Amino acid sequence: MTTLDHRVDVRRADELSAHEFYALLRLRVDVFVVEQKCPYPELDGKDMDALHLRMLAADELVAAARILPPLHAGAPARIGRVVVAPHQRGMRLGEKLMREAIAACERLYPGVPIGLSAQGHLAGFYEFLGFSPTSGLYLEDDIPHIDMVRPPATHGA
C-alpha cells in the first residue's frame, strides 16, 4: 500500500527484521515513555501476537500502529500504540495512519467492531474517524484515557 509519498505495510513481529522491529519499538519508547514522561511497561507481551502497521517515508519509519485481533467472538479488533514521529507531526499523518489501520482491520476482521483506548485529549480526533466513547475518562499510567469503539463496516458503505 502507498499513501502519497508514504509506503505502508502490515506485518507480524516475526516478519520484521531485527532492525525494523528495533526502529518500531524505539519510536514508541521515544514518544510514549520519554516524550510523554510516562514510565510504563511499553513492552507488554502483546507485540508477538499483533500486527504492526508501519508508515515509511523512503526507509524511515515515520508512524506506526499496532493491531490486535479480537480476543473472542463478539469482541472488537483493537488498534493501539498509534504513534507519529515528532518531526513528522502537523502533516496529517495520524489521520492517514488511522485510516490505513481501520482499513486493515476491516479487511482482516470483516464484520467486527474496532476498539481503542484513546488519550482523552484525542477523543475528538477519533470521533471524527467514526469511533464513539464507551467509557468515561479514566487514568491509565497517569494519563487520562477513554475507551472508544467503531462499529463494523457495512457492505456498500
Structural domains of the chain, ranges and CATH numbers in brackets: 2-150 (3.40.630.30)
The pLDDT of residue 142 is: 83
The pLDDT of residue 37 is: 82
Q: Residue 95: which H helix or E strand, with range?
A: helix 93-108
Local structure of residue 149 (DSSP, 8 states)? E
Q: What is the mean pLDDT of the chain?
A: 91
- Quickly tell me which residue has 481503542 as its cell: 116
In this prediction, residue 157 has a pLDDT band, given cuts at 50, 70 and 90, of very low
**φ/ψ (deg, to 5) at 87:** -75, 0
The pLDDT of residue 4 is: 53
Give the dihedral of Cα atoms 74, 52, 50, 134; nearest 10 deg: -40
All cell numbers assigned to 19: 532492525
- Quickly tell me which residue has 463494523 as its cell: 152
Average pLDDT over residues 89-118: 94
Residue range 30-70, pLDDT digits in tens: 998 888 887 777 888 899 999 999 999 988 999 999 999 99
Average pLDDT over residues 11-29: 96
